[in-house]
């Protein structure tokens, strides 16, 4: 049976819808790779991308094209294709979300907090090196971002955790093993000292904050709480 003009229009719309769906999956991947939360699961990342990013708009556009194609469809395979396109688009977004977040974690985070940066002037450069020496002597958990506060008063970095981990329990064991002496531990924050240096850690939602500096200084940023980061 030859295809009518209506059938041709339906096929064209389905092809356009499929192309838009593929493009939407690629856009979702890039959006999550840049802006996604590395602690999210695939489902949480997809839900956030659909509500806060361009993925929701793309789903709406593809849905409209698919509905029009469904209305114009004259054959069963056309109708099935019209229904399948937005569904497969969501499946594709769900599938690429962990990869995008993993890429962000690999590129933007590290296993050790980093304080030293090129071009720093004295006395900040010396303070950063001392803080880095303190951080490097300790076995850390989580993944550290490059953001934070650095200066003559010490270096502060935040880390994220993808699982339910007792942060203070880890450092209670790791610090003495590295030669540090725990001098404060109130169950919310821990402070240790070694060779004129000090280290502090405070658990936060989905991670925590660490600070290192001179044992004469205090981690005022940590005392302000995790919401400041």
Helix, strand or coil for residue 177?
Answer: helix
Q: Which residues does 138 contact at the CB level (< 8 Å), separation at least 6?
A: 171, 174, 175, 178, 180, 199
Q: What is the pLDDT of residue 226?
A: 65
Report the SS3 class of residue 220: helix
pLDDT range class, residue 224, cuts 50, 70, 90: very low
Choosing among 3.30.310, 3.30.450, 3.90.1200, 3.30.1180, the CATH entry for 111-228 is 3.30.310
Average pLDDT, the chain: 83
Lowest mean pLDDT among 63-77, 121-135, 160-174: 121-135
Sorted by sequence, the CB contacts under 8 Å of residue 18 that are 6+ apart come out as 85
The answer, yes or no, to whether residue 229 has pLDDT greater than 50, is no
Task: Name which residue leads in pLDDT, 37 or 82.
Answer: 82
Show the beta-strand stretches assigned E in the chain.
Answer: 109-110, 143-151, 154-160, 181-185, 190-194, 197-204, 207-214
Predicted pLDDT of residue 188: 87
Are the C-beta atoms of 146 and 159 separated by less than 8 Å? no
Q: What is the pLDDT of residues 103-139, one digit of tens each?
A: 887 777 777 788 766 656 666 677 778 888 888 888 8
Angle at 227 between CA 145 and CA 96, to 5 degrees: 45
Whether residue 221 has pLDDT greater than 60: no
For the record, the structure tokens of 219 come out as 């981690």
Greater confidence (44 vs 116) lies with 44
One-letter-per-residue 3-state SS of 30-73? HHHHHHCCCCCCHHHHHHHHHHHCCHHHHHHHHHHHHHHHHHHC
Question: DSSP class of residue 121?
Answer: P
Split at pLDDT 50, 70, 90, the class of 3 is low
* Euclidean distance between CA atoms 69 and 130, whole angstroms: 65
Q: What is the pTM of this model?
A: 0.67
> Which sequence spans correspond to the domains of the chain?
5-108, 111-228
Q: In what order do the strands lie in the sheet with 190-194?
A: 109-110, 143-151, 154-160, 207-214, 197-204, 190-194, 181-185
Token digits for 67?
């509905």
C-alpha–C-alpha distance, residues 228 and 74, integer Å: 58
Residue 157 CA, chain-centre distance (Å), reads 15
Average pLDDT estimate for 163-192: 90
* Helix/strand/coil percentages in the chain, nearest 5: 55, 20, 25
Asked whether residue 151 carries a pLDDT value surpassing 70, the answer given is no
pLDDT surpassing 70 at residue 29 = yes
Cα gap 53→32, rounded to integer Å? 9
């Amino acid at each position: 049976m030859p295809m009518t003009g209506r059938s041709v229009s339906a096929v064209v719309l389905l092809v356009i819808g499929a192309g838009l769906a593929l493009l939407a999956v690629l856009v979702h991947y890039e959006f999550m790779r840049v802006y996604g939360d590395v602690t999210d699961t695939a489902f949480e990342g997809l839900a956030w991308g659909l509500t806060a990013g361009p993925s929701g708009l793309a789903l709406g556009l593809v849905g409209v094209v698919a509905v029009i194609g469904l209305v114009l469809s004259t054959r069963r395979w056309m109708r099935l294709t019209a229904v399948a396109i937005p569904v497969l688009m969501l499946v594709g977004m769900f599938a690429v979300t962990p990869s995008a977040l993993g890429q962000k974690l690999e590129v933007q985070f590290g296993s050790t907090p980093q304080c030293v940066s090129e071009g720093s002037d004295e006395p900040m450069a010396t303070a950063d090196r001392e803080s880095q020496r303190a951080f490097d002597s300790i076995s850390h958990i989580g993944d550290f971002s490059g953001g934070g506060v650095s200066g003559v008063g010490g270096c502060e970095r935040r880390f994220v955790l993808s699982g339910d981990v007792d942060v203070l329990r880890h450092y209670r064991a790791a610090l003495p093993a590295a030669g540090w002496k725990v001098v404060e531990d109130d169950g919310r924050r821990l402070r240790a000292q070694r060779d004129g240096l000090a280290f502090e850690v405070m658990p936060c939602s989905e991670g925590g904050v660490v600070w290192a500096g001179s044992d004469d200084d205090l981690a005022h940023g940590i005392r302000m709480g995790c919401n400041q980061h």
